[in-house]
């Protein structure tokens, strides 16, 4: 005879009707099961023996963990993880493991929040072990944001969840050493690493697979990344793919929209959920964005499921209409108009910081003209690194990065989770809040503290740092105007967005998706430049007139700049000087006491310089470096009076990095090299 079930009042007295109803249902289930077991039917009792034992264990676990409805823990989890969400988001977070999930998430719809809350729910409510959960993010910034949100939601247990980019996951699987290859300047083949990781997983089917796998930005995966996800997902893995075919923008890099389109066939059965409530942008911005994307063929969400303002924001003011400016296609002239628009924006809001404004363009060529104009006009700006870049030179090769590596190499004892470098980088960044390299290193140190083992040796931390630094990530100073391509803006948002159009956009669905991504980065205001005459037609014949009549769009003729640039100024561009065009061994050929080393020590990123012929000078006219002999074309451009520019970074070089043929000429074991960018005259 089994024990009689407890009544709802015995379980947890509570005045909340919903909780009492849940407790009643649990008691009824127990009573029904006991009645069946005690029915006298031996065959039935035998068949129900194991299910009954599992149910009793589950109920006891609920009691032991204080998770019965009405309990303090139950209420805390509900309030912390579920109440902040919309009903659709909530259903995704607490969904049972019955097949895989495809989440088609529109821009600004809270997809990162859903992933973070779902993982926290698995950790806290479902008691899934952290080591059984893997989340793959598109880039370092997205991975770091997800880690931070997880830690805020779930605390210390979240540290055991694997949150990495696809490349970092491949590196972890194959165990490739990075520090040595960095020291010798050996280039790393990331595509090959992904292939090696897939081959390893396929060769070891017995290797444990995660029970829960999350993949963000599924629509922009390359074939190698797609294969990695397939190899990571075991027969018992629950896969949640989050993406949006409307935001597929990396086809040029090998990404295929077909991967998200065939997800339901690859992993059937699949439950598909649409996230359409936008928490970011105003109704005018969303209306224009919807007109931009509407002509695209074969949209998975369909024209009858537009992204719209979240219900929680419906009582807010509608916001300013989107400004559509017919502008000259010549990059210098349009850069002057954009700069005037930025200045007006700053003048209208005294509390607005330049870093809250982003200027987006199709190509870096358009941004280079604006960057040069900002330098000449004294407005601080920062241009974002190329997305998905895997340059051999990273922030760790800079003077500041070398100091961080030296710090890690000093102690003989292990560092607890990289806390020491994080504290040190944080101190340096607070001392120099406008220094871009220190801000980058602070981000890097914070990520290290999140992913490093609990007690890691110095070599292990160095390996982790090199792995993280391979993918560029720029924090962005709040006091500097943000310049970036539309590709680089993926996943970001800004209060004010200006999109340039120097006739470098192209016709077609791929470009329309990219323009849609650019437009949906805006929170408060959006300004679209439209080149006249237009070669691409992306902003033509899409029904914008109806939006104008509704007060959602404001077409404007190109205003005259406050100070029209003269012809030479309008043709100027900012040109980054490649490290290959710099004589990297110049200071190394000088003895340690040479005055050049003292001059270099006084320089910092952002300092102005001038390039005259091959010679790089500081503002006092003192030489601080020179071009390599292969940079003949740039040397001719820099004939007297030279080209103005600035230092982008101070590299640290070592004897081991020089080719053997050049080592005999070196007189230093370590020296510094200024990297620069200069303003050049480059008419269209």
Query: Residue 304's CB: how many other CB atoms inside 10 A?
Result: 5
DSSP 121-154: HHHHTS---GGGEEEEESSHHHHHHHHHHHHHHH
409 is in an annotated binding site: no
Asked if 103 and 89 touch (Cβ cutoff 8 Å), the reply is no
109 is in an annotated binding site: yes
The one-character DSSP state at 102 is E
Query: Residue 598's CB: how many other CB atoms inside 10 A?
Result: 9
649 is in an annotated binding site: no
Tell me, rounded to whole angstroms, the distance of Cα 453 from its chain centroid: 23
Asked if 488 and 358 touch (Cβ cutoff 8 Å), the reply is no
Query: Residue 603's CB: how many other CB atoms inside 10 A?
Result: 17
108 is in an annotated binding site: yes
105 is in an annotated binding site: yes
110 is in an annotated binding site: yes
* CA quadruple 481, 484, 486, 488: dihedral, nearest 10: -120
Distance between CA atoms of 651 and 397, rounded to whole angstroms? 6
Q: Which two tokens stand for residue 372?
A: 């040069």
Q: Which two tokens stand for residue 463?
A: 């390996």
Distance between CA atoms of 592 and 578, rounded to whole angstroms? 26
Asked if 97 and 267 touch (Cβ cutoff 8 Å), the reply is no
The one-character DSSP state at 218 is G
160 is in an annotated binding site: no
319 is in an annotated binding site: no
The one-character DSSP state at 564 is P
Q: Which residues contact 31 (CB under 8 A, 6 or more apart)?
A: 5
Query: Residue 539's CB: how many other CB atoms inside 10 A?
Result: 22
Question: Residue 292 — φ and ψ, nearest 5°?
Answer: -65, -40
Binding residues are 105-112
Binding residues for ATP are 105-112
């Amino acid at each position: 005879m089994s024990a009689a079930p407890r009544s709802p009042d015995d379980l947890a007295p509570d005045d909340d009707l919903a909780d009492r109803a849940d407790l009643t249902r649990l008691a009824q289930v127990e009573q029904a099961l006991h009645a069946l077991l005690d029915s006298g039917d031996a065959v039935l009792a035998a068949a129900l023996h194991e299910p009954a034992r599992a149910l009793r264990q589950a109920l006891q676990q609920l009691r032991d963990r204080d998770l019965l409805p009405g309990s303090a823990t139950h209420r805390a989890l509900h309030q912390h993880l579920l109440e902040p969400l919309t009903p659709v988001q909530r259903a995704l977070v607490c969904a049972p493991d019955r097949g895989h999930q495809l989440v088609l998430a529109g821009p600004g719809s809270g997809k990162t929040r859903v992933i973070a809350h779902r993982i926290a729910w698995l950790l806290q409510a479902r008691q899934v072990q952290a080591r059984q959960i893997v989340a793959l993010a598109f880039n370092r910034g997205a991975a770091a944001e997800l880690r931070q949100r997880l830690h805020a939601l779930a605390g210390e247990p979240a540290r055991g969840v694997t949150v990495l980019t696809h490349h970092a996951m491949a590196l972890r699987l194959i165990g490739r050493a990075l520090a040595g290859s960095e020291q010798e300047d050996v280039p790393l083949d990331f595509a090959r690493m992904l292939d090696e990781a897939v081959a390893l997983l396929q060769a070891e089917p017995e290797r444990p697979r995660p029970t829960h796998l999350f993949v963000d930005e599924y629509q922009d995966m390359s074939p190698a990344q797609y294969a990695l996800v397939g190899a990571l997902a075991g027969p018992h893995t629950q896969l949640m793919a989050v993406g949006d075919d409307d935001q597929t923008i990396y086809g040029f890099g090998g990404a295929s929209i077909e991967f998200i389109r065939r997800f339901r066939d690859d992993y059937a059965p699949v439950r598909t959920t649409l996230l359409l409530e936008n928490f970011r942008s105003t109704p005018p911005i969303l209306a224009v964005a919807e007109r931009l994307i509407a002509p695209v063929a074969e949209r998975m969400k369909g024209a009858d499921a537009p992204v719209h303002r979240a219900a929680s924001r419906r009582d807010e003011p509608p916001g300013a209409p989107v400004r559509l400016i017919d502008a000259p296609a010549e990059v210098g002239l349009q850069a002057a108009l954009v700069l005037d628009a930025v200045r007006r924006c700053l003048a209208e809001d005294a509390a607005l910081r330049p870093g809250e404004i982003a200027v987006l363009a199709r190509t870096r060529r358009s941004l280079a003209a604006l960057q040069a104009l900002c330098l000449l006009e004294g407005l601080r700006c920062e241009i974002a690194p190329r997305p998905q870049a895997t340059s051999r030179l990273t922030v760790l090769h800079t003077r500041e990065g070398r100091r961080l590596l030296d710090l890690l190499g000093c102690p003989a004892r292990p560092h607890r989770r990289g806390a020491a470098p994080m504290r040190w980088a944080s101190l340096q960044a607070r001392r120099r809040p406008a220094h871009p390299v220190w801000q980058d290193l602070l981000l890097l140190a914070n990520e290290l503290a999140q992913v490093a083992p609990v007690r890691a040796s110095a070599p292990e931390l160095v390996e982790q740092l090199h792995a993280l630094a391979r993918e560029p990530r720029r924090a962005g100073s709040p006091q500097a105007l943000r310049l970036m391509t539309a590709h680089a803006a993926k996943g970001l948002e800004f209060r004010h967005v200006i999109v340039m159009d120097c006739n470098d956009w192209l016709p077609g669905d791929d470009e329309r998706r990219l323009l849609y991504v650019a437009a949906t980065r805006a929170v408060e205001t959006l300004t679209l430049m439209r080149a006249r005459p237009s070669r691409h037609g992306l902003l033509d014949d899409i029904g914008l007139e109806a939006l104008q009549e509704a007060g959602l769009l404001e077409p404007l003729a190109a205003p005259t700049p406050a100070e029209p640039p003269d012809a030479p100024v309008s043709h100027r561009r900012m040109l980054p000087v490649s490290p290959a065009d710099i004589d990297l061994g110049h200071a190394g050929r000088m003895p340690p006491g040479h005055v050049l080393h003292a001059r270099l020590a006084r320089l910092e990123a952002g300092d102005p310089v001038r390039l005259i012929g091959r010679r790089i000078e500081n503002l006092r006219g003192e030489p601080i470096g020179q071009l390599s002999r292969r940079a003949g074309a740039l040397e001719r451009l820099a004939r007297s009076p030279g080209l103005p520019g600035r230092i982008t970074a101070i590299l640290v070089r070592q004897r081991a990095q020089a080719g053997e043929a050049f080592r005999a000429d070196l007189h230093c074991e370590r020296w510094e090299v200024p990297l620069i960018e200069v303003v050049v005259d480059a008419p269209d």
